């Protein structure tokens, strides 16, 4: 038998054999099926590789997130993550103070919560002008001071010690 490859010519098999039209179609169909199977295997493999990559990326992200969360705040403020997150917050706020609308003063991006430090949600941040930011922090420290003093006053009362001059109720 002639084994020289001649392709799927008219009425010929790969190795030069004479074949009928029907045989040729059968061979072509089986080739097509084979190619489809190979393609399916290949795309399954590709899918698996993608899944592995996703898992790897997730792990990398979690590792990165943990690293950022543990980072001292001063260092964190210099991280590329914070620079990007801060810029996105400024764009969202259209470069205006979200309390008073001020545009000209220095804008600060304030954390409402540090819960998600390293992976902040939009609502975790607020853009404030330097004045509103200072007022905000002042208010917070005043109210936490008041709360703390009330707690101490209550404790003294429970202990039967009279906070006669209301030292701990003064802010």
Question: Where does this chain bind Zn ion (CB under 5 A)?
Answer: 97, 99-100, 102, 110, 129, 132
Q: Residue 64 or 102: which CB sits closer to Zn ion?
A: 102
Nearer Cβ to Zn ion, position 55 or 134? 134
To Zn ion, the closest distance from the beta carbon of 132 in angstroms equals 3
Residue 58 or 122 having the CB closest to Zn ion: 122
**Minimum gap (Å) between residue 89 Cβ and Zn ion:** 12
Helix axes 80-92, 21-70, angle to 10 degrees: 90
Minimal distance, residue 74 CB to Zn ion, in Å? 14
- CB 152, min distance to Zn ion, A: 26
For Zn ion, the closer CB: 102 or 124: 102
């Amino acid at each position: 038998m002639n084994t020289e490859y001649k392709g799927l010519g008219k009425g010929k098999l790969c190795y030069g054999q004479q074949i009928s039209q029907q045989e040729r179609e059968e061979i072509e169909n089986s080739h097509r099926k084979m190619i489809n199977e190979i393609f399916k295997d290949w795309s399954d493999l590709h899918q698996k590789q993608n899944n592995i990559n996703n898992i790897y990326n997730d792990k990398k992200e979690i590792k990165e997130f943990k690293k950022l969360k543990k980072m001292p705040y001063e260092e964190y403020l210099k991280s590329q993550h914070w620079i990007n997150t801060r810029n996105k917050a400024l764009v969202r706020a259209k470069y205006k103070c979200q309390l008073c609308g001020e545009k000209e003063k220095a804008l600060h991006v304030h954390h409402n919560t540090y819960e998600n430090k390293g992976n902040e949600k939009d609502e975790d941040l607020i853009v404030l002008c330097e004045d509103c930011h200072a007022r905000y922090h002042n208010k917070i420290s005043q109210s936490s001071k008041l709360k703390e003093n009330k707690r101490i006053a209550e404790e003294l009362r429970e202990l039967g010690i009279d906070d006669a001059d209301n030292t701990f109720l003064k802010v």
